Amino acid sequence: MSGGSAVNDRIVSTLDALTRRPPERPWGVRELAEDLGLSRSTVHRTLHALTERDLATQTVNATYVCGPRLRVLADRLHRSHPLLGQAGPLAETLARACDATILLSLYDPRRAEGFVALSAIPDGPVRYRLDPGTVIPLHAGAAGRAILTELGPDVLARLDLVAHTPDTVTDRAELERLLRQARQDGVTISIGQHVALAAGVAAPFRVGGLLGAVSATRPRHETSHADLERFAPLVRETALEVSRLTTPVHQPTPEHGHAIPSWPSPAGDSGSATVRIERLLSALTASAPLPLGGRALARVLQGNPATAARLLDTALATGLATAHEEQAVAGPLLLRWAAALGSLHSITPIVFPALQDLAQQTGETIGLAEYDQATRTARMSAVVPGSKPIHYELSPGSEVPLAAGAAGKAILAFLPDDTLSELPLVKYTDRTPLHRTTIKKDLAQVRDRGWAVGDGERIPDGYGIAVPYFTQHTVAGSLTATVPRHRADEIDVDTVRTQLTAAARAITHLLSI
């Protein structure tokens, strides 16, 4: 193995370890080094490099957890991958039809095991539950055995047939007989073989170069064999529908407006192995497949062909990527990371530390406004109060008008021109601008300088400075520092603007793929 490949493998192994541990159980350097079989100095260097790219986060106790950038990439995969992006409604429909927990599990060939990629759990006091990312055995349980029916005898020979319950089949000859029967039936039935109190039925599927299974599972004491046979055709049909999900989720056309400010890329070694791994992850979480080599791959990964080839070799060997239709697409390991990390319902949790830093730096109240492209509205999703004796209080969750106040104008300035013409102009204070021509001139100034000011336009005694942030070259919201108007002359506007701009730039890079 070349030195470059070894470094790539170490980075992937470290990221895998970070995703395996919940945030409440962070890794210490010594513990992680023992887990990976590496020296503490090597692990420390790797974690430091990952932290610089926001792929890892160091806690106050000098331990490490998954970083916000990894969560953003996982969220993008939830939106772009045919399985994670489209199979949810199918699973929910099946869950209602069977009154059962539905799991979509995937096969990880490198580790010869399965894992839960997606689940749908109906309401009820007693329910079977396996969280996304959970490992499942191939020889025990309906989902694992359904996957095993699609694999050759060499895989079965590799398995350690552990008895998970007294009913687990550990005799290879008997297991082979059951697999032959399942292939003939098109479904696998398991009662108490993985979890003693569970009974389920599963059928295999293939999608996006991946092998998996759809399973319906219920508490054993509530489920008869006749119930499982009744569920079988429904499960089999859902597996067929999943297999047809071969195209990526349609991405809505971004609401492009004006060009975003020209900001430099984050500091760091643009040619480092960590940066290259991040580029690879970004490419794999997007909807477009990667070339399997050559200059086309090098262009996507922004490196020379030899370096790009080594990187793709690492991806294919570790399961980050898999070959499908002569291209590379997201592989089982990357899907497992995304399943374990889940999707983002709001960016607030991952950018909140930046808001706290801003509030500490400025001493003023900092607000995060998020713009919803579907509804064309903005809302103040998070607020960190200022530390000065007299500071302004903002209300989290409140709607932010786009044409009045710094937070809204910082967003509106970068939306399409016709957005302003469609907005109702509401008078909030005597200073609220109500003439579209005046507002349009103000928005042009915001675009020129990259920041907005609001002086009592929305809140009579509030003065705000706001800077927009972007995702995929489209405005996504703004960061605002709000102060009482009677102190507006005392603040250093240039310093506050600079601090807000730096934070908005970092958030833009964090959220963009």
Same-domain pairing of 482 and 465? yes
Mean pLDDT of 97-118: 95
User: By the 8 A CB rule, do 143 and 202 touch?
Assistant: yes
Same-domain pairing of 68 and 166? no
Residue 495 CB coordination number (10 Å)? 11
> Per-residue DSSP letters for 259-299?
PPP--PPPSS-TTSHHHHHHHHHHHHHSSSPBPSSHHHHHH
Would 468 be classed as within a structural domain?
yes
Would 266 be classed as within a structural domain?
no
Does the structure show a pLDDT above 50 at 250? no
For residue 412, what pLDDT is reported? 96
Would 432 be classed as within a structural domain?
yes
Same-domain pairing of 142 and 290? no
Would 495 be classed as within a structural domain?
yes
pLDDT-based confidence at 264, cuts 50/70/90?
Answer: low
Query: Which range has the worst mean pLDDT, 2-16, 276-290, 389-403, 413-427?
Result: 389-403
Same-domain pairing of 122 and 186? yes
Give the total number of structural domains in the chain. 3
Same-domain pairing of 203 and 308? no
User: By the 8 A CB rule, do 241 and 90 touch?
Assistant: yes
User: By the 8 A CB rule, do 236 and 394 touch?
Assistant: no
pLDDT-based confidence at 262, cuts 50/70/90?
Answer: low
For tokens 């609401």, the residue is 255
Domain final residue pick, 244, 265, 298: 244
Same-domain pairing of 40 and 150? no
Q: Which structural domain, as residue segments, surrounds residue 222?
A: 83-244
- As a whole number of angstroms, the distance between CA 145 and CA 91 comes to 19
| CA distance readout (Å), 423 to 21, 427, 436 | 46, 13, 10
Would 250 be classed as within a structural domain?
no
Structure tokens at 44: 């420390």
Mean pLDDT of 56-69: 94
For residue 2, what pLDDT is reported? 56
Mean pLDDT of 400-419: 94
pLDDT-based confidence at 247, cuts 50/70/90?
Answer: low
Which segment, 59-73, 250-264, 376-390, is predicted with the most confidence on average? 59-73
Does the structure show a pLDDT above 70 at 125? no
> Edge-to-edge strand order for the sheet containing 101-108?
135-136, 113-120, 101-108, 210-219, 198-207, 188-191
Does the structure show a pLDDT above 60 at 135? yes
For residue 286, what pLDDT is reported? 83
Same-domain pairing of 126 and 189? yes
For residue 475, what pLDDT is reported? 95
pLDDT in tens, 341-374: 999 988 999 999 999 999 999 988 999 999 999 8
Same-domain pairing of 142 and 224? yes
Q: Residue 487 maps to which CATH number?
A: 3.30.450.40
For residue 466, what pLDDT is reported? 96
For residue 392, what pLDDT is reported? 52
Would 265 be classed as within a structural domain?
no
- As a whole number of angstroms, the distance between CA 37 and CA 14 comes to 11
Q: Which helix (H) or strand (E) holds 328?
A: strand 327-330
List, as own/partner pairs, every contact residues 135-139 make where C-beta atoms lie below 8 angstroms and the sequence separation is at least 24, other chains included.
136/105, 136/194, 137/113, 137/162, 137/164, 137/194, 138/107, 138/112, 138/113, 138/114, 139/168, 139/169, 139/170, 139/175
Percent of the chain topping pLDDT 70: 93
| Widest pairwise Cα distance in the chain | 84
Structure tokens at 86: 């489209």
Average pLDDT, the chain: 90
Domain final residue pick, 289, 306, 341: 341
pLDDT in tens, 136-178: 999 999 999 999 999 988 999 999 999 999 999 999 999 999 9
Same-domain pairing of 187 and 223? yes
Would 217 be classed as within a structural domain?
yes
List, as own/partner pairs, every contact residues 243-248 make where C-beta atoms lie below 8 angstroms and the sequence separation is at least 24, other chains included.
243/205, 243/206, 243/207, 245/82, 245/83, 245/86, 245/87, 245/207, 245/208, 246/82, 246/207, 246/208, 247/82, 248/80, 248/81, 248/82, 248/85, 248/287
For residue 3, what pLDDT is reported? 61
Structure tokens at 204: 């295999």
For residue 5, what pLDDT is reported? 80
Same-domain pairing of 66 and 116? no
Would 257 be classed as within a structural domain?
no
Does the structure show a pLDDT above 60 at 267? no
Does the structure show a pLDDT above 50 at 249? no
User: By the 8 A CB rule, do 263 and 1 touch?
Assistant: no
Same-domain pairing of 158 and 112? yes
Q: Which helix (H) or strand (E) holds 64?
A: strand 64-66
Same-domain pairing of 150 and 239? yes
Domain final residue pick, 315, 341, 367: 341
Query: Which range has the worst mean pLDDT, 208-212, 302-306, 426-430?
Result: 302-306
Length reported for the chain: 513
Tell me, rounded to whole angstroms, the distance of Cα 200 from its chain centroid.
29
Higher-pLDDT residue of 76, 484: 76
Instruction: Tell me which amino acid residue 361 is.
Output: Q
Percent of the chain topping pLDDT 90: 71
Residue 350 CB coordination number (10 Å)? 21
| DSSP 8-state assignment for residue 26 | P
Tell me the pTM: 0.88
